[in-house]
Amino acid sequence: MTPASKESPTPERPTVGRRTVLGAAAAVASAPALLGPARTAHAAPPHRTPGALPGGGDLGPNVLVFDPATPGIQEKLDEVFKQQEKAQFDTGRYALLFKPGTYHGLNAQLGFYTSIAGLGLSPDDTTINGDVTVDAGWFNGNATQNFWRSAENLALVPVSGTNRWAVAQAAPFRRMHVRGGLNLAPAGDGWASGGYLADSRIDGTVEPRSQQQWYARDSAVGGWSNGVWNMVFSGVQGAPGQTFPNPPYTVLDTTPVSREKPFLHLDGADYRVFLPELRTDARGVTWGNGTPRGTSLPLSQFYVAKPGVSAGTLNQALAQGLHLLLTPGVYHLDQPIEVTAPNTVVLGLGYATLIPDNGVTAVRTADVDGIRLAGFLIDAGPVNSATLLEIGPAGATADHSGNPTTVQDVFLRIGGAGPGKATTSIVVNSRHTIIDHTWVWRADHGDGVGWDTNRADYGIRVNGDDVLATGLFVEHFNKYDVQWYGQRGRTVFLQNEKAYDAPDQAAVQDGDVRGYAAYKVADSVTSHEAWGLGSYCYYNVDPSIVQHHGFAAPNVPGVKFHDLLVVSLGGKGQFERVINDTGAPTSGSSTVPSTVVAYP
């Protein structure tokens, strides 16, 4: 059965919850550059004084480092996978790191909260003759809950010629070189709902198969075989042509602004963190023609944090001028982590998780240049937080166009692992901020889930001007999922689902409008542009709920949308329009998207 024909569950697939229904329908590349001495605009930490915290140190027990001579690599990979395969809301966190060299006969199966990465400056420095696999045997062939895992900075030579990466949200595939093809669906083409690929080269064909939506940025592919609902490309060499809605390809020749995620690498026996440089009108990978451009910082300039450390200690390290490297584990916070110095890096390994225990904000930044936040999960605590992540203070106005703050693979969760509440998950006040791949999720399953139990009204609120989002996944908020108040904002790709558990129409009534829009641009905005946005409804508690539209925006010439879709999953709720009062209603229980190619 082809993906497009999946309109109802087959007998072998369980009909538990909506994640089983989601799948129902289914050369600006950098020139060669010598790295040279590490350059950094962030002041080196001062000479240690009594009581000062040290930089550097070991990476802790949950960072497993291999080299080609390490015995028993496959056995260790299998051990971690056995523990993490079904551990969707458990506390285990792992980073699997491979030193440069060539490895043979490995199949690294990745479960929850597991990251695999090479330690070279280029993916081709670390080659695995084998596979890095995500499949869905743990969930009866359904990949729609394959969250929170990642692969970075490796070259793969797949055993069969094609590597399987069947993921859902929060599962980035970054800086990878697949010397073959890439299959984004689980074995048997079960349901799949992902995903994100960046700075990667796939020599063969990418096969989405049953994947409903996907965003690929600044990469190169040998081909792309199909699309279900929403396939978006920016800066991808070899991408298909612009054909939305049939096939559903949205294609931007370049990415307006991008800066790749920081990554750990080895310089001899010493760990360093590489900081790729900013690119404008980017296209293709950053590493294809020699050493990547950017700067490299020694680990001695990082406070290497371990689970159990206090927020006060993390803030002391930042005040000393150290960056933060968060090793895998769970960190409880009784005060916000305050990132105030320009060019500070906060980098998590293995889905390091921050939990604000007492209603505080987990992370706040100052309105300064060049902060980089990457690779961690913020999990709301049981006491309501007004916000979980704040980028810049209210009223921030400084120009950061030459050196913006970047937020990459920073994921937020409200509920699922237990009760959690947050009024607004992310607030972006600083101008020119780049949000590059986030999943902001009010949980629809797990523990501590209910309309008011894990109350979370708003997903992302953008107040700052000139903010760019590349790869937004925002789901299930009680009111608006994305609100945009800043001028000249841009979004490339949105995947959204409205909250399933609304008890009735009145609970989602937005004044005179039926249902809160997934993505709302404020009436005061005169300039905004977005490409490739999708919103789905699955009101399983009250299927009679009507959602007037997925997207709301002022009808002015400077506010432009390209390639929008809304879908009613199995007829559980309906959309009347796509954006404002434009677009056809969804069609009963047929799970067929309603689309608008251009607005206005």
Active site residues: 497
* CA-CA-CA-CA dihedral for 483, 486, 406, 308, to nearest 10: -50
Burial (Cβ within 10 Å: 0-12, 13-18, ≥19) of residue 304: buried
DSSP assignment string, 184-214: -S-TT---B---EEES-EEEEEEE-TTB-EE
DSSP assignment string, 276-319: EPPEEEE-S-SSTTSSPSEEEEEGGGEEEE-TT--HHHHHHHHH
3-state class (DSSP) for residue 506: helix
CA gap 101, 132 in Å, rounded: 16
Retrieve residue 514's tokens: 């039926």
Burial (Cβ within 10 Å: 0-12, 13-18, ≥19) of residue 475: buried
CA gap 340, 342 in Å, rounded: 7
Structural element, H or E, at residue 222 = strand 220-224
Structural element, H or E, at residue 491 = strand 489-497
DSSP assignment letter at 516: -
- Give which of 289, 363, 278, 276 is closest to 324, Cα–Cα: 363
Burial (Cβ within 10 Å: 0-12, 13-18, ≥19) of residue 521: buried
